[in-house]
Amino acid sequence: MKAKIVGLLKEATTPLSGEKISQDLGVSRVSVHKHINGLRERGYSITAGSTGYTLEDEGDFLYPWEFGERDPLIHFYEEATSTMTIARDLAESDCPHMTTVVAQRQTKGRGRLNRVWDSQDGGLYFTVILRPSLPINQVYKVLFTASVSLALVVRNLTGINATVKWPNDILVGEKKLNGMLSEMATQDEFVQYVNLGIGVNVNNNPSKAEPNAVSIRDLLGQEFPRRKILTGFLDSMEERLKNKDEDVIAQWKQYTSTIGRPVRIQTTRDVLEGRAVDVNSQGSLIVELADGRLEEVFHGDCFYQSGEAQES
């Protein structure tokens, strides 16, 4: 009902009377008034005049009813310890493909290698639960698809020149716009689910916690609707996974700033330095070491070293 009322108010070009809303939705005016008050309590700027209700500002809300047909799949929290923790429980309870947990803020947001992800108001923090029906050795396709999807959504919606950094960060210039964390469960030799936890710096100020980070607001000089980023990403991911995009590595290479760069790779067991020369068909980063040997890195954290990027 809230979704329907918000939809009517957004479409209206003049104030909308309670009577008109009740007729359109087949509910009493008392019910309409109750839902309007509920929306106001959640932050909607809805004024009431002699001729009816007006939505003064659509706001930057992430409530389920703001996502149209995705409403049943969206689980919104004003505050959560970590969307990944909630998503794991949902995934284990057999929730549907594309179920998404969104939080206004996180108290224990997590990054790769057990780092803390600063999750203040204004950022976009979510975990999407995917059931891609892939063998375990092809799960890398999901991660690269997510990176490409998010980079293109940012580019197309904002005009910002976002690039992808191996394995799955989004950068603008040398500064980090997002982070991505994945967890997977398997059954036999197939993926049961992949949970992608994503934090995007949209209207927050990440540089306080991470000097080498930047937000969309910083880059545009004004706030940008987080809902547009999330909707665009979910639409892109769902379409790409449905079509089983086989060229995702090639697409990723079109938008990467990693290949040709001097890098330092940190894994759970080792640290190596060299020049990133390629990403192979399985998503591994190929690093040329100082002695000319090529090292294949399947998983790790990548840090750019000083030196200019070169074509490979």
Question: Which residues are known binding-site members for biotin?
Answer: 106, 110-112, 176
- Give the distance, in angstroms, between the CA of residue 233 and the centroid of all CA atoms in the same chain: 6
The span from the first CA to the last CA of the chain, in angstroms, equals: 55
CB 285 within 8 A of CB 297: yes
Annotated binding residues, written as ranges, equal 106, 110-112, 176
Residue type, 202: V
Distances in Å between the Cα of 24 and the Cα atoms of 14, 20, 29, 32, 139 are: 16, 6, 11, 11, 47
Angle of CA points 26, 31, 37, to nearest 5°: 135
Q: Which residues sit opposite 229 in a β-bridge?
A: none
Q: In terms of Cα–Cα distance, which of 255, 238, 261 is closest to 169?
A: 255
Mutual orientation of helices 226-242 and 140-158 as an angle, nearest 10°?
140
Distance CA 59, CA 204 (A): 15
For 207, other C-beta atoms within 10 Å of its C-beta total: 15
Distance CA 135, CA 147 (A): 20
* DSSP label at residue 284: P
Token couple for 30? 């008392």
CB 55 within 8 A of CB 9: yes
Scanning the structure block, which residue is given the tokens 């359109």?
24
